[in-house]
Amino acid sequence: MRYLLLSCFVLGIISCGDDNTERLSNTSFSIKVDTLSIETGEHLLNVGQGIPKARLSQDERLLFFYDYTNHSIETIDMEEKKWIQTLYLEKEGPKGVMDRSRFDYIPLTDSTFRFFTQRNFIELNQENDLLFESPRFDKMVRIAPEKQFEAWAKLSLGERYLFGLTSSFKQYQMLDWVDFKDSIYREVRLDSMDYRKNFEIKNNRVIISSPINTAFIQEKFMVFHPDGIDVYIIDPKTSTSQFKDNSPLLFPRRKSGNFPKTGDLGEFDAIFENKALEISYRDLVFDQENQLFYRFAGMKAPETGRPLQYFLVFDKEMNLIHEMDVSEMRIGFGESFVRKGKLYVRNRETDDLEFFVISVEKED
């Protein structure tokens, strides 16, 4: 292992929610970065497309993730630092799971998984035995055709909620969910994120916008995206929502939109290059042990095009309490998750499975 020890002192004005109040944050952190490499033996891990749908076992010893190429679930022992086994999924039949991430799953035990297949729910073990099969989803829940969200839906831990996002050219962006305690469909409009439409790139054939993502954290739905630091927090038990925004000091809180919005398909590459100069936020993750949220952001220096990277820390109410320039680390940040109080970030600059393991410690 190699490590880098970084310290940073941040004095900042932090936005604290809808009342527009501000508080002074006087916070010092030290950050230690280790590396962890996974031994795979003769097994080939396909991580060129990342490690989508990464999940941890209940004791956080095992890491599971989806392999696009082989349509499979890989299992990694994070304590032993090695690959364990692969569950090869079928695409059709009673055990069929749609490919290209058009499904979701949660680990029930170290060797059994519950899948949402769009068609229904099934349970498989590592030997690909079918242990459970539910009725069809459209027989379990009634949802109007224009509100159907199951194509990219997610299953919450505990299996109580199925949730996802819907939008169309004629509809607003919505967060939708079903509570299986009553099998009722509910929705919340994400109207404070409508500004993202200003960053769409379009012509008379296509409209391309940045992805928007959801997660189930602390019994709440959280919605976030690359275009800004803002987050929606939605309580599924009360159907209430809170829009949280913050104002970092080192970089913009949102894209400015100073790039072309229209063009022919052949011009899109140049447009995307201009868009990449502006701030972009990565997914939000939660550290249960330390009760902190972490997030990365990046942009390019306007004068030189040099990549700039930042690390953000939020408290459990999603107030920004720390921001740090980590550009000098010069490492490729891929997907991230938190395990046993440390942030694991896939190194996307190698074909092997390697993680940067980041310890965030508050200093006195």
What is the rounded CA–CA span in Å between residue 193 and residue 176?
15
Residue 318: partners with Cβ closer than 8 Å, 6 or more residues away: 231, 233, 244, 246, 293
Report pLDDT for 10. 42
Overall average pLDDT of the 93-119 stretch: 94
Report pLDDT for 314. 95
Q: In this prediction, what percent of the chain has a pLDDT beyond 70?
A: 91
pLDDT in tens, 66-78: 999 999 999 999 9
What is the rounded CA–CA span in Å between residue 187 and residue 91?
30
User: Which of the two residues, 90 and 276, has the higher pLDDT score?
Assistant: 90
Overall average pLDDT of the 341-364 stretch: 93
What is the rounded CA–CA span in Å between residue 347 and residue 2?
14
In terms of DSSP bridges, do strands 213-217 and 220-224 run parallel, antiparallel, or are they unpaired? antiparallel
Q: pLDDT confidence of 146, banded at 50, 70, 90?
A: confident
Q: pLDDT confidence of 14, banded at 50, 70, 90?
A: very low
Report pLDDT for 145. 85
Report pLDDT for 333. 83
Distance, CA of 157 to chain centre: 15
pLDDT in tens, 207-223: 888 999 999 999 999 99
